[in-house]
Structure 1
Amino acid sequence: MLSDPIIGNYYIGIMSGTSLDGIDVAIAQRTRHGFVQIAAAAPALDNKLRQQILTICQDKKVELQTLGEVDFQFACACAHVVNQLLEDSRLSAAQIEAIGSHGQTIFHSPNGAFPFTQQIGDANLIAAKTGITCVADFRRMDMAYGGQGAPLVPAFHQALFAKSGENRVILNIGGIANITILESDNKVLGYDTGPGNTLMDAWCEKVNGECYDKNGEFAFQGEVLPALLKLLLSEPYFSQSPPKSTGREKFNLQWLAKRLAQLDSGLNSNADIQRTLLELSAVTISEQIQLHSAACAVFVCGGGALNPLLMQRLQALMPDYWVSDTAALNIDPMFVEAIAFAWLAEQRLLENTIPLKAVTGARRDALLGCVYRP
């Protein structure tokens, strides 16, 4: 039997995704209509810590001493962001029921002989340094039952955004893009479509020294390279049927370099490559949405919602769909995922299983997350 949420309770969600552009933290309050965002912040990661995490993710070879130290530092950074937001919001730790922490994924491998996923950000430290119960490790129980362990947010999308008699799509464009198809009969489908911002961010940083392409300005300077786009689209992941999930383990600069090496790209500008990477994200996302949903409203969240060129291309590629962002549903598009983990923390304390088996392919819905009390 599912437990009912308590109206008025506060929860905090922490999210750090593939883009590694910062730590998103949001305070949400349970109301009769769902979760209301009370306060939020997205401070950038300390650059040294960011580079250490990128090295771990990209090189995949790291000393255990380094891994442990980065795990500790990232947890402390999360706790600091929470404490600062509480101070700024004039709320106390005693008013918060729990923190839901996604952690920072450093490797996700759901399809190997020995499936696993690994996140850093010690929840013990977060609980101890904030004085608030912390719920973390949300993915591994789903994987224990044969699921992909990702994406987790479709269950939240269904709980907050589904509307009886109406088809909707929730599109999250973080480093990786994922879609949630909310059907009028309450069925739900969700999975990772492929790269969102991760390749664009990585290329922009490589050639411009900037962590991301602000407002798509770099991509606006280039033109799509048809031969490169065709080669990128030949990646088998894109034609794989769901359930499926992916990450930086597959879509990274090494993946891109192998494909660039197959072409005579000497005459192509860096901006052309950036523009082609944006088109890759737009095409793969739009194709999957149109494959699995009839014409409907598409609500975008994540950093990609702030890229006007990407939003323009999505609308152009899906002329029969109405493309907006989740502000139209009263949630800031930059903090949907953080609030989703606040919701997952609430559900764990209530001991409610999360309806994800249709999304992840798990054998059964499971109770997700481990509870760490201060």
Structure 2
Amino acid sequence: MNPSIKKLARIAEKETRMVIGLMSGTSLDGLDIALCEIKGSGQETEVSLLKFITKPYLKKDREKLRKVTSVDQVSLKDLCYVHTWLGQLHADMIIEALFEWDIKPEKVDCIGSHGQTIYHLPNRDLNGGDTPLNSTLQIGDGDHIAVNTGILTISDFRQKHTAYGGEGAPMAPLVDEWLFTDRKEHRILLNIGGIANYTFMPAAEVKDLQKFSTDTGPGNTLIDAVMKSRFDKPFDKGGKIAASGNVIKPLLKMMLKDEWFKSEEEKSTGPEYFNLKWIKEKEEMAGFSGSDISDKDMVATVTELTARTIAGSIQNHTPEGLPMVIYPSGGGAHNRYLMKRIESYLDPIEVRPFTELRFSPDAKEAVIFAVLANETLAGFGFNFNTKYGSDQNVHFGKISFPG
């Protein structure tokens, strides 16, 4: 029998596993590394976050990734190289983090790697493609991570989701239900990354309410794009620039008319849809040119768009007057002005720090992928309503052995 398969079986049978979860989002700021101790599986999953760090990308690394991310045309030579290079870079970052934590690689049972999404293409964005398919693509080769760390690696989680008819995103709701359902409290697990998404998690003792999860549209992606193009800065720290500007109401109104915001089903999106080109199109439709709107007013306007669309989606998909608590995570949770605007629309819904749910909001997405990996190793999978019209238990990810 293949000794790697034997080792895999031993790991699966352990009562407690040490799993590293990795997340690199559309902001391209760095690699989140979460070292988790995970006991059990399925609804019985228990997670302790032992260590967490974000290893920042160098400026040259970010530029290398931008060349192949969310663009219509790319050099195959560049894409081939960057896929391998990123796997090696992530392996180096993991080894560096383990050294800093004084933890030997052999103590880690598994790595769950999200990779870097370079293109996300739900069927609704195909515009008449030959075959109606949801597709998504992540790079950062799992074999290179496994070989260069010596640790079993699971990657490419989103592909199984699309194979069964899902859009490959958001993935967090699958785990949110296991980790964050409360017996009495109705919760909104709001994540504001490049794209914003949330899970409405009804209290367990209330049987007539259903979980709902969706992307709401742009989170930080338009804010960051405007900051990069107009201020040569990666993001609007604390929302200070947005707070100093004025919302251009005719432009905001035109943005909110976009058909994407009108559909009510669970859905996903990415910077392939919401980008500077999209802003320019809305400007022209509203009768503006780029020079008509000041830099700070544009930041204020796209920030308001994020706040309005997050709040609007939550209001549309949760019962009116239901007492709920919002727990925000992701980079946008640190944008104080953005959070203030969201709260103003959702008042009197209470907003509490994500730390009340046991760990840092910055670590949440990486923890999600540690749990996804753990379930592939040791569980019966996630209940998922597939394109075949029935609930099935599905495991996500491809396994790479280190040797």
2:180 corresponds in structure 1 to 161
Are the aligned partners of 1:136 and 1:370 in contact in 2 as well (CA < 8 Å)?
yes
Find the partner of 2:23 among 15, 19, 27: 15
1:296 corresponds in structure 2 to 324
Gaps of 5+ in 2: 1-10, 127-131
Are the aligned partners of 1:216 and 1:308 in contact in 2 as well (CA < 8 Å)?
yes
Are the aligned partners of 1:189 and 1:358 in contact in 2 as well (CA < 8 Å)?
no
Deviates further, 130-139 or 54-63: 54-63
CA distance in 1, matches of 2:16, 2:63: 39
Deviates further, 252-261 or 53-62: 53-62
Pairs aligned (count): 371
* 1:115 equivalenced with 2:134 (yes/no): yes
CA distance in 2, matches of 1:138, 1:95: 23
1:55 corresponds in structure 2 to 67
Please give the per-residue CA displacement for 1:51-77, whole angstroms capped at 9, x wherever unaligned.
232222243212221101111111112
Amino acid at match of 2:188: V
* 1:43 equivalenced with 2:55 (yes/no): yes
1:100 corresponds in structure 2 to 112
Displacement after TM superposition at 1:5 (Å): 8.3
* 1:355 equivalenced with 2:363 (yes/no): no
CA distance in 1, matches of 2:353, 2:148: 35
Larger Rg over CA atoms: 2
Amino acid at match of 2:361: P
Amino acid at match of 2:273: K
Displacement after TM superposition at 1:242 (Å): 1.9
Displacement after TM superposition at 1:301 (Å): 0.3
Amino acid at match of 2:331: G
SS in 2 for 1:57: coil
Find the partner of 2:211 among 188, 194, 197: 188
Displacement after TM superposition at 1:31 (Å): 5.2
Cα distance change, pair 335–367 in 1 and its aligned pair in 2 (3 A): same
CA distance in 1, matches of 2:383, 2:59: 37
* 1:179 equivalenced with 2:198 (yes/no): yes
Displacement after TM superposition at 1:131 (Å): 0.6
Find the partner of 2:371 among 343, 364, 368: 343
Percent of residue pairs bearing the same amino acid type:
35
Are the aligned partners of 1:6 and 1:30 in contact in 2 as well (CA < 8 Å)?
no
1:207 corresponds in structure 2 to 230
CA distance in 1, matches of 2:12, 2:202: 24
Displacement after TM superposition at 1:46 (Å): 2.5
Amino acid at match of 2:358: N
Are the aligned partners of 2:136 and 2:159 in contact in 1 as well (CA < 8 Å)?
yes
SS in 2 for 1:42: strand
1:323 corresponds in structure 2 to 351
Displacement after TM superposition at 1:29 (Å): 1.2
CA distance in 2, matches of 1:201, 1:362: 40
CA distance in 2, matches of 1:362, 1:254: 39
Cα distance change, pair 261–362 in 1 and its aligned pair in 2 (3 A): farther
Cα distance change, pair 125–343 in 1 and its aligned pair in 2 (3 A): same
Displacement after TM superposition at 1:124 (Å): 0.1
Gaps of 5+ in 1: none
Cα distance change, pair 253–362 in 1 and its aligned pair in 2 (3 A): farther
Displacement after TM superposition at 1:48 (Å): 2.2
- Note the aligned Cα RMSD (angstroms): 2.1
Are the aligned partners of 2:383 and 2:391 in contact in 1 as well (CA < 8 Å)?
no
Find the partner of 2:33 among 16, 21, 25: 25
2:248 corresponds in structure 1 to 225
Are the aligned partners of 1:305 and 1:325 in contact in 2 as well (CA < 8 Å)?
no
CA distance in 2, matches of 1:123, 1:201: 29
CA distance in 1, matches of 2:302, 2:383: 34
CA distance in 1, matches of 2:297, 2:231: 13
Cα distance change, pair 318–89 in 1 and its aligned pair in 2 (3 A): same
1:370 corresponds in structure 2 to 398
Please give the per-residue CA displacement for 1:348-367, whole angstroms capped at 9, x wherever unaligned.
111421234399x9864411
Please give the per-residue CA displacement for 1:293-339, whole angstroms capped at 9, x wherever unaligned.
23300000000111100111111111121112311212101110001
Find the partner of 1:72 among 59, 62, 84: 84
Question: What is the 5 A alignment of 1:147-158?
Answer: 147-158=166-177
SS in 1 for 2:348: coil
Deviates further, 8-17 or 53-62: 53-62
Cα distance change, pair 371–362 in 1 and its aligned pair in 2 (3 A): farther
Cα distance change, pair 5–168 in 1 and its aligned pair in 2 (3 A): farther
SS in 2 for 1:72: helix
CA distance in 2, matches of 1:297, 1:364: 30
Amino acid at match of 2:75: E
CA distance in 1, matches of 2:327, 2:189: 5
Displacement after TM superposition at 1:4 (Å): 9.2
Displacement after TM superposition at 1:97 (Å): 1.3
CA distance in 2, matches of 1:176, 1:165: 29
CA distance in 2, matches of 1:125, 1:314: 41
Find the partner of 2:288 among 264, 271, 296: 264
Are the aligned partners of 1:169 and 1:182 in contact in 2 as well (CA < 8 Å)?
yes
SS in 2 for 1:271: helix
Amino acid at match of 2:25: G
* 1:333 equivalenced with 2:333 (yes/no): no
Amino acid at match of 1:275: A
